[in-house]
Structure 1
Amino acid sequence: MPGTPALIAIDWGTTSFRAALLDGTGAILDRRTAAAGILQVEDRAFAAVVRSELGSWLERWPGLPLYASGMIGSRQGWVEVPYVPCPAGLAEVAAAVVRHAADGLALSFVPGLSRTDAAGVPDVMRGEEVQVLGVADAARDGLVVLPGTHSKWVRVARGRIVAFHTFMTGELYAALKGHTILGRLMRGEAEDAAAFARGVRRGAEEPALGHALFSARTLPLMGLLPETGVASYLSGLLIGAEIAGGLGLAGTVPAEVPVVGDARLQRLYHAAGQVLNVGFVAAPGDEAFRGCLALARQRGDVR
């Protein structure tokens, strides 16, 4: 039976706005989605978006804590929240949450995370840290993979994020498809499982990605890959290269690796894992909302 509303959690990214009304157990009582990512909001009218999308909740349950995660806390968003350096867990992230009141609204903005590798090169994430906190309980050790435009491979130890690495897999695919000769060879978007698996193997086995990519041109050119399979092959090649790189950086790999993302990406990574003997499993979903609830509890905003 649904409980009493305890929190409004907002996952606000570059291209989308998602919000959930949660009770104290984490059950989602209601949800809202809108094509109102931070880049679509004109004149930084973020408060107007909140009122438009969540007005009925705010009127019915005034005073509920609102937690916002994702790119809304970036330099391009509503309030810039500094990155928290790794390693960091629930306590460190919660301590860096920024409370901001404006336009009659009070929101708690969640920070992102940063790390610097041995060569002094920084890496950052914003939004994924809440998803990881939502999927990794306090006793969990292992990896969490968050595929997408900028895929993240995150190592968790005792519920704390100790390291992560970013791979520009999704953005590379979009750029190669839309702006190179590889895209001109593609015919249609139909998924080709055999071509995808072939690409995964090639991407994982060839250490020079720039060389491996050229095979997406030569194979169809020589009649060794149908043009209808080029898109799947290229997708598999990039995902295979990412997995090989991620595994190399991660060290010990657990038997099961949760994948946080939409159903299509989860399915692709599961298929790639079957080719490479990696146990990718789909995370249950709504991790960002559960992560916000965990932070609100840590800060005492939800009992």
Structure 2
Amino acid sequence: MNQTQLIALDWGTSSLRAYRIGHQGVVLEQRALSTGIMHLPTVTTENQQALGDKAGFELAFRQACGDWLAAAPPTPIIACGMIGSMQGWCEAPYLPIPIAINQIGKTLKTVQTSDGLVVHIVPGLIQHSTLPNVMRGEETQVIGALAIAAEQRGKHQHSVDDVLIGLPGTHSKWVRVHQHSTEPTIQHFDTFMTGEVYAALCAHTILGRTMQMDAAFDFGADTEKNTANHLAFSRGLEVAQTVAGRAGVLSTIFSTRTLGLTDALDGSGQREYLSGLLIGHEIAVLRASLEELVHQPQQIILIGDATLCARYKTALDIYEIKGATVTAKATERGLWMLAKQAGLVSANAVPV
């Protein structure tokens, strides 16, 4: 435990991931719990009296890393995600973009536990426009991905001026970063509720009635059934490029049912077709927005679940957005980088 340099938390709505990080940013140990901010431990009257109004957060915090902190006091603590929202432990107000990423770690909010520990919370970002946009947690992944990409390029290669970072998921984000200046700057981002809409359509509309939802589909496996599912997924991806697709996603999603009724797709094929359909519409809009840019991204990075990123990489290739790579462990790297910015760990400690 004497190697512990930082306790880092990725605390979202439904889950909490904890990292015990050592010298040079090496993750020594990690845990995943189901105690997101909407699923906190049950608070007893005794807990309430001892810990106060935010007792649920402190109980979850102790479950996640209490033993680590007891064995290695006083270790600095940093947290990102929905823990800093209005519904979280302590609100960390949004910072407006554009913003240089080295400014984010200098504006952490703090909350103190009942026994005097200080938790530093990363603020989210807001994009003020006619239709405002926000992120909370993704900014940390972006910072981590940029750090990993810089290391992979090496010291002797030129930096990349414009980077596009995709974060597929429940609410997919596409973040544009400009690196021409000394410090990378987050310039713009878009949000697509693709994952949440997919789940809602499957579970709560007539489209799901004829789907086969329990069949496992290994996106990378080469089997006859997977080949059929791949074809259904690719068929959905292509729709946004067709004449019929110009009517928009609200028009095309009903084809998930009609292709089943006409025996063009079986139950699992309908599920994969709908996934491709929604992702295809998302990538079609992304491509159109990129075509309007004066400076095209020179690097495209995907962050997230490997299987989901594989789906998105397939979609990007079909829509002729080439060269995307997938980055892992961006969250823990981002938390380490933010801790360095905030002076919580040594500025000379270089992550590996």
Q: TM-score, normalised by structure 2?
A: 0.80
Partner of 1:147: 168
- AA at the equivalent of 2:239: R
- Is 1:15–2:23 an aligned residue pair? no
Q: What are the equivalent positions in structure 2 for 1:1-303 lying under 5 Å apart? A: 4-41=3-40, 42-43=42-43, 44=54, 45-104=56-115, 105-117=117-129, 120-137=130-147, 139-140=159-160, 141-158=162-179, 159-188=184-213, 189-191=215-217, 192-205=229-242, 206-207=245-246, 208-250=248-290, 251=293, 253-254=296-297, 256-279=299-322, 281-303=324-346
Structure 1 residue 300: Cα displacement = 1.4
Q: SS where residue 327 of structure 2 aligns?
A: coil
Give me the whole-angstrom Cα distance separating, in 2, the residues matched to 1:280 and 1:169.
Answer: 22
- AA at the equivalent of 1:155: R
Give me the whole-angstrom Cα distance separating, in 1, the residues matched to 2:298 and 2:340.
Answer: 31
Give me the whole-angstrom Cα distance separating, in 2, the residues matched to 1:91 and 1:6.
Answer: 20
Give me the whole-angstrom Cα distance separating, in 2, the residues matched to 1:253 and 1:40.
Answer: 41
Cα deviation 1:71-90 (Å, max 9, x = unaligned): 01111110111000001122
Change (3 A) 1:280 1:174: farther
Give me the whole-angstrom Cα distance separating, in 2, the residues matched to 1:298 and 1:111.
Answer: 13
Cα deviation 1:31-63 (Å, max 9, x = unaligned): 111111111104541111121221221012111
Cα deviation 1:113-145 (Å, max 9, x = unaligned): 00023xx21000100010001111474421000
Give me the whole-angstrom Cα distance separating, in 2, the residues matched to 1:102 and 1:85.
Answer: 29
What 5-or-longer segments of structure 1 have no aligned partner?
none
Structure 1 residue 150: Cα displacement = 0.5
Give me the whole-angstrom Cα distance separating, in 1, the residues matched to 2:38 and 2:241.
Answer: 35
What count of residue pairs does the alignment treat as equivalent?
300
2:101·2:186 contact (CA, 8 Å) conserved in 1? Answer: no
Give me the whole-angstrom Cα distance separating, in 2, the residues matched to 1:58 and 1:4.
Answer: 12
Give me the whole-angstrom Cα distance separating, in 2, the residues matched to 1:135 and 1:160.
Answer: 13
Give me the whole-angstrom Cα distance separating, in 2, the residues matched to 1:280 and 1:151.
Answer: 19
What 5-or-longer segments of structure 2 have no aligned partner?
44-53, 151-158, 218-228, 347-352
Change (3 A) 1:300 1:94: same
Give me the whole-angstrom Cα distance separating, in 2, the residues matched to 1:198 and 1:62.
Answer: 56
- AA at the equivalent of 2:193: M
Give me the whole-angstrom Cα distance separating, in 2, the residues matched to 1:204 and 1:13.
Answer: 35
1:99·1:109 contact (CA, 8 Å) conserved in 2? Answer: yes
Structure 1 residue 244: Cα displacement = 1.2
Give me the whole-angstrom Cα distance separating, in 1, the residues matched to 2:111 and 2:319.
Answer: 46
Change (3 A) 1:242 1:55: same
- AA at the equivalent of 1:29: L
Structure 1 residue 96: Cα displacement = 2.0
More off after superposition, 226-235 vs 123-132: 226-235
Structure 1 residue 239: Cα displacement = 0.6
Give me the whole-angstrom Cα distance separating, in 1, the residues matched to 2:79 and 2:206.
Answer: 41
Q: SS where residue 328 of structure 2 aligns?
A: coil
- AA at the equivalent of 2:315: A
More off after superposition, 20-29 vs 169-178: 20-29
Give me the whole-angstrom Cα distance separating, in 1, the residues matched to 2:303 and 2:165.
Answer: 7
Q: TM-score, normalised by structure 1?
A: 0.93
- Aligned sequence identity (%): 41
More off after superposition, 241-250 vs 151-160: 241-250
More off after superposition, 267-276 vs 55-64: 267-276
1:9·1:19 contact (CA, 8 Å) conserved in 2? Answer: yes
Cα deviation 1:186-225 (Å, max 9, x = unaligned): 1244441000000011135423111111211221222222
When the two chains are superposed, the root-mean-square deviation of aligned CA atoms in Å is 2.0
After TM superposition, the runs of 4+ consecutive aligned structure 1 residues lying more than 4 A away are: none
Q: SS where residue 31 of structure 2 aligns?
A: strand
- AA at the equivalent of 2:238: R
1:147·1:261 contact (CA, 8 Å) conserved in 2? Answer: yes
Structure 1 residue 280: Cα displacement = 5.9
